[in-house]
Structure 1
Amino acid sequence: MGRCVYGGVYEPGHPEADVDGLRADVVKLTRELGVTAVRYPGGNFVSGYRWEDGVGPVEQRPQTLDLAWRSVEPNTFGLNEFMTWARQTDIEPIMAVNLGTRGVEDACNLLEYANFPGGTRWSDLRIAHGVREPHRIRTWCLGNEMDGPWQIGQKTATEYGRLAAETGKAMRRIDPSIELVACGSSNERMPTFGSWEAQVLDEAYDVVDYISLHAYFEQHGDDRVGFLASAQVMDSFIEGVVATCDHIGAKRRSRRKLNLSFDEWNLWYESRFAGQDNLDWARAPRLIEDEYTVEDAVVLGNLLMSLLRHSDRVTIACLAQLVNVIAPIRTEPDTGAWRQTIFYPFALTARHARGEVLRVEPVSPMLHSATLGDVAAVDVAATRDPETGETTIFAVNRDDRQAATLQLRLAGDHEVVEHVVLGGQDLLATNSKSAPRRVEPRTSTRHFVEPSSLSAELPPVSWSMIRTAPRASVAG
């Protein structure tokens, strides 16, 4: 979509590009971001995609039309280029198959090409393309947003559920080790939300390992408090899907517990987007290259806290997308890549949320939202690394007028090893090509530690991360 691939991760001729056309600056920032898995080739794009067009000699690949985004697809970047990039960035690939215009046979052909060792039509074709070892892709998405009227090949829940079940059954006969993701509702506002999940899982529960969730957030009208409390909406969405999964499991008397793949989530100012039907045909057009503010970074940090809270069941979560298109990383052809404001909470959470997620039930004053009613002014999540004893606390103050004081009880005598803050000032500031480091997390000293307790200031509209470690004892 847009400039995520062409002009993003892949730009032959750019000063930062390697011999494969992959931008080293984007690889470096992807590693810094802490990404562990990437879903490819997306999104709405996959529902009309012929994967065969993107393999083999580049000069023989056709230019095709991407009906999802009215784009001309040159197919110079395909499966094997993606896997080369995946090895450079040390990420695990998540592959999506086209169940919009295609089906069981083509999904099996792609799996055979990607994962089968050799000696068959499609695996030998991969070897002929210069890739002797199989890619061993573990996780496979069975289509994308198949409930959406915007989707090429939209289906009813029963139609899709049966197709997903039959496709998954056939794919497992080729490679029994794979994990499969069924499409859930495109978002919780869909009129069929809940019933879609139930009907799909009635057909496919015994075949799939995950069901997907997608959600994008933006401020509606003047309800700033509601926007700042987007994580509360995410909490409710996740808990509703978990309940539906468990209901179907109980109905089937199954001992399996399905996990959730929240494989598209982000902030997206969708109200500013003209819509697919109003786009002109173009190659790698500039689509939804939203510029994120400090306030946006606070909200995204809070969404990460929601995902942490539900990590017992949400075991995959993919920020959509990675580069340029509603992304934490931005590029231009005449300069190096830079970090958007939302880069920082993702990178810090990925780096420091380790070990166990702790149950945290904060007591907070309330704020009123026109869309959500009363919401907590302060939200908190925490993790603990059992190997080091280090605790990482993430806290958001949604109040745009007053600072808050976070008061915690700690297990044992701890010291603060890091305290950083985003927000509290310059809420509309952004990073840009001309000022790529205008916004960065700042170190705070506004905390106080006593044996077994910690208090810290949370500025208005801020996201904070506080890391504590057991205080070294001194031998007497």
Structure 2
Amino acid sequence: MSTARITIDRDFTVGEVPRRLFGSFVEHMGRCVYTGIFEPGHPSADERGFRRDVLELVRELGPTIVRYPGGNFVSGYNWEDGVGPVDERPTRIDGAWHTIETNAFGLHEFVEWAREADVEVMEAINLGTRGVDAARALVEYANHPAGTAWSDLRRENGAEDPFDIKVWCLGNELDGPWQIGHKTADEYGRLAQEAGKAMKLVDPSIELVAVGSSGSGMPTFGEWEYTVLGHVYDEVDYLSLHAYYQEHDGDAKSFLATAVDMDYFIESVISTADAVGAKRKSRKRINLSFDEWNVWYQTGLDTPDQPHNVGKQWRKHPRLIEDEYNVTDAVVVGTFLNSLLRHGDRVTIANQAQLVNVIAPIRSEEGGAAWRQSIFWPFARMSQLARGSILRTAVTSDRIDTAKYGDADAVDVSATWDEESGRLALFLANRGLDETADVSVKLGGFAASAITRAEVLTVPEGGDRFSSNTQDAERVGLTPLEGVSVEGSAVTLRLPALSWAVVEVAVTTA
């Protein structure tokens, strides 16, 4: 058995919980859009083709902002193809994912879907094959009230009122050689600066996200951020980060500790952004948009069902990277959410990639069922319960030894306090594969009166760490966490081996 002591205090906070931290991502890739959120003719579909069964699960998941339409897809996308009468829209090839794009679903449809799902739209523009003029035209089309060529075209296309999209991504992963329109940091920085400037001349209220590194392992990491921000510092509000992790060669311990790398990535980018600001003698602070993150098993990308097999046929919405997530993956996702929340003073936007079917918390079958994957649960509970102030956590935990990241805490935690509701929420993960963890939590400045929620996700009865959910059976989910006790300013609990848990406590300030 391992042990962990956690200390939190009412007066030691990181900042307010940024609601955009619980974002998601919809890309025209695989079956995320077509047969995911949009499937005319499905038994649950409404008159617009939106799958109501998927919408219900999206609302339960609770994303607050959704990035669209990509991703690698956007770097070869002409936004004009996705507006106007559907039967007049062109069919195109998408080189990013080697598929046929019908454009039956575009900007208008996504904005309507987002309103149904009660999420904010985060729009990405093409800075791979296009540039300043297309970017400013799209902002005018989406956000200008009326009386201009582009805004009047939007109204002709059925949207009388502006879409009022506030958050815009200036391209996607242009540091990556795989990207259509790949650029050097200087090439991208100059283009993003001019595009951002032109976009804000159309609508000064928008917020802009510059492309950062596609991962901390990129050869240009650090240098890319420094150079790009040297160009765009005055125009942008956020710098992006992308990261995907997976278990390699059965090394579960290193996989369970990958949030250590996420912490490093975030803190390195913060340092770089602040160094650029200091050099410029600027009081402006650039925040971070971690707008792609998840577990992704990036193996077999040249199989017949994957995008980089150039010998395969061009197809509409083929199955791409539809990972089936297990218990281990869910615990890791919980630690990623902890990392993001602990850095919520600077990471103020984050988007789990993606929402449906493509490395997603929600799966669906064409003409069939929709269901929750294991990773659905940590996201859903944290989106629901992480409110108010982010509390700093001081953790003294037994350690696990990993081949890739050295020693890491066996117990990982984040915490929030909602003064309005009087609830304190603890989000905990036990990385120990075989050992339970006894956890004691000392509450400074609080008096605890009752446990109002205690739930745990762990290996189901009769299963193992690879247990997962299917359309026939959702075996992995949240169950009551027994034995949680509270007395005065202390909470004690026991976490099963390999588990993620949420404990909500009713508190008063002492």
Which TM-score band (shorter chain)?
A: over 0.9
| Letter paired with 2:468 | T
Structure 1, gaps ≥5 residues long: none
The amino acid across from 1:439 in the alignment is V
The corresponding residue for 1:383 is: 416
Name the structure 1 match of 2:382.
Answer: 349
Determine the structure 1 residue equivalent to 2:455. 420
Structure 1 window deviating more from structure 2 (249-258 vs 411-420): it is 411-420
2:369 match: secondary structure: strand
Equivalent residue, structure 2, for 1:444: 481
The residue type paired with residue 447 of structure 2 is: G
Q: Deviations over 1:5-49 (max 9, x none)?
A: 001000000011111111111111111101110000010000000
Q: Which moved more, 1:345-354 or 1:384-393?
A: 384-393
**What is the CA–CA distance in structure 2 between the aligned matches of 1:286 and 1:368, rounded to whole Å?**
37
The CA deviation at 1:218 is 0.3
Matches within 5 A, 1:101-180: 101-180=129-208
Map of 1:429 onto structure 2: 467
**What is the DSSP-based 3-state SS (H/G/I as helix, E as strand, rest coil) of the residue aligned with 1:276?**
coil
Amino acid of the structure 1 residue aligned with 2:130 = R
TM-superposed CA distance for 1:413, in Å, is 3.1
From 390, 399, 405, the counterpart of 1:372: 405
Matched, 1:38 2:66: yes
Aligned residue runs from structure 1 range 303-382, under 5 A: 303-382=336-415
Superposed displacement of residue 263, structure 1:
0.3
Shift of 1:472: 12
User: Helix, strand or coil for the counterpart of 1:427?
Assistant: coil
* 8 Å Cα contact 1:3-1:287 kept in structure 2: yes
Deviation at 1:449, TM superposition (A): 1.7
The 2-side partners of 1:104 and 1:138 are apart by 18
Q: How many residues align?
A: 472
Residue 276 (structure 1) aligned to one of 300, 307, 310: 307
Give yes or no for contact 2:427–2:502 (8 Å, CA) kept in 1: yes
1:460 aligns with 2:501: no
**Hey, what's the Cα distance between the residues in 2 that align with 1:90 and 1:383?**
23
Matches of 1:472 and 1:213 in 2, distance apart? 37
Matches within 5 A, 1:182-197: 182-197=210-225
Q: Stretches of 4+ moved more than 3 A in 1?
A: none
1:314-362 deviation digits (Å, cap 9, x = unpaired)? 0100000000000011111232211111001100000001101100011
Q: Distance in 2 between matches of 1:373 and 1:341?
A: 27
Asked whether the 8 Å contact 1:223–1:371 carries over to 2, the reply is no
Stretch deviating more after TM superposition (445-454 or 145-154) = 445-454
Secondary structure class of the residue paired with 1:362: strand
CA gap 1:471/1:147 in 2 versus in 1, 3 angstroms: closer
Is 1:181 equivalent to 2:209 in the alignment? yes
The C-alpha deviation readout for 1:241-298, integer Å capped at 9, x for no partner, is 0000000000000000001000000000012433632153110010000000011111
**What displacement does 1:398 show?**
0.7
How far apart, in 2, do the equivalents of 1:467 and 1:39 lie? Answer: 30
Preserved contact between residue 459 and residue 467 of structure 2 (Cα < 8 Å): no
Q: Write the letter of the residue equivalent to 1:385.
A: D
Q: What's the % identity of the aligned pairs?
A: 55
Contact 1:415–1:471 (CA under 8 A) maintained in structure 2: no
SS of the residue aligned with 2:229?
A: helix
For residue 506 of structure 2, what is the aligned residue in structure 1? 469
One-letter identity of the residue aligned with 1:413: A
Gaps of 5+ in 2: 1-28
Q: Output the CA distance in 2 between the equivalents of 1:229 and 1:408.
A: 22
* Whole-Å separation in 1 of the counterparts to 2:411 and 2:425: 16
Shift of 1:468: 0.4
For residues 192 and 507 of structure 2, the distance between their equivalents in structure 1, rounded to whole angstroms, comes to: 49
Q: Which of 228, 232, 240 matches 2:260?
A: 232
How far apart in 2 are the matches of 1:131 and 1:160? 33
1:119 Cα shift? 1.1
Matched, 1:261 2:289: yes
Q: Which letter does structure 1 place at the counterpart of 2:335? A: N
Give, in whole Å, the separation in 2 of the partners of 1:354 and 1:403.
28
Deviation at 1:471, TM superposition (A): 7.5
- RCO greater where, 1 or 2, for CA within 8 Å and sep 6 or more? 2
Give 1:445 deviation, angstroms.
1.6
**Residue matched to 2:13:** none
- In the superposition, the TM-score normalised over structure 2's length comes to 0.91
1:214 matches 2:247: no
Deviations 1:103-142 (A, max 9, x none): 0000011111111111111111111111111101000000
